[in-house]
Amino acid sequence: MIHSCSIKKIIQWQKKIRIQPVHVFCLHHISQVFCKDWMYEDDWTEIESFKKKILSMRKDGVKFLSLKEAYSHIKKNYFRFNNYAVLTFDDGYATLLEILPWLEKENIPVVLFINGKYLDGKSYRENPSEKYLTYELLFQINSSSVEIGSHGWEHMDATKMTDQEFAMSIKKNVEILSQHPCYIPYHAYAWGRHSAISDKILDDMRIIPVMMDGMKNYDDKRVIHRELLGI
């Protein structure tokens, strides 16, 4: 017969495992060289420093997941025997080509949140010097370790758009990205800014919202929270 004290300890142990957060990190540029005319220092990490950080995390027992796997862990209340992490990259910068081969070689999943407008190689968010993946380069990426989600047609603040503008931005972006074999129905809000209305629009489209709010993912089954990866 199991003593009630033992049962209580088992329940506490189970809760401790279950409440381990899944860390979802937001990244932008991982490259050899910092280009001051089109990069922000807060968005850039030197490539060797990044590699050392990721390998150190793995050595410490961190298991890297795809975003879909991570969301399943949260939504289904899986027990978490490991520390889990997800790597996401915003905006679709061309510097991704410097790090994606290494991540694939190391079997580390990544998520790319793409703004469709900048895939044409002619339209730019702020600076004509900014370099983004083109349609051709994006659609050449076809790996089981890569997921591709939406970041909006343009990199715009959802709270400064009308309902119609936001819905059209998502629809236009998804029309292109959904043709990619690696597409997943997740949308990362630019700067993490959103509203109850934008959340409802995504819900109606059956797209899962991804925040940028520095919070950790415990058991919030509605959204994915992201934080920065300190190097």
Asked if the structure places residue 189 within a domain, the reply is: yes
List the alpha helices (DSSP H) in 31-143.
Answer: 47-59, 67-75, 96-105, 135-140
Let me know if residue 10 belongs to a domain.
no
**Tell me, what's the pLDDT at 112?**
98
In a domain? residue 56: yes
- pLDDT, the chain, mean: 92
Per-residue pLDDT reduced to its tens digit, 136-164: 999 999 999 999 999 999 999 999 999 99
pLDDT at 77 over 70: yes
What are 104-133's pLDDT values in tens digits?
Answer: 999 999 999 999 999 999 999 889 999 999
Q: Does residue 210 belong to any structural domain of this protein? A: yes
- Given a cut of 70, whether residue 31 has pLDDT beyond it is yes
| Domain interval for residue 147 | 20-228
Model's pTM, two decimal places?
0.91
Distance separating alpha carbons of residues 199 and 183, to the nearest angstrom = 20
- pLDDT digits over 193-230, tens only? 999 999 999 999 999 999 999 999 987 888 999 999 98
Q: Is residue 3 part of a domain?
A: no
Bigger pLDDT: 138 vs 7: 138
* CATH number for position 143: 3.20.20.370
Has residue 14 been placed in a domain?
A: no
Query: Would the pLDDT of 74 be above 70?
Result: yes
Cβ burial of 19 (10 Å; 0-12, 13-18, 19+) is exposed
| Number of domains within the chain | 1
Q: Which residue has the tokens 């010097």?
A: 129
Phi-psi region of 230 (alpha: psi -120 to 50; beta: other; left: phi over 0): beta
What is the mean pLDDT of the segment spanning 159-174?
A: 98
**Residue 168 counted as domain residue:** yes
The per-residue pLDDT for 80 is: 76
In a domain, 185, yes or no: yes
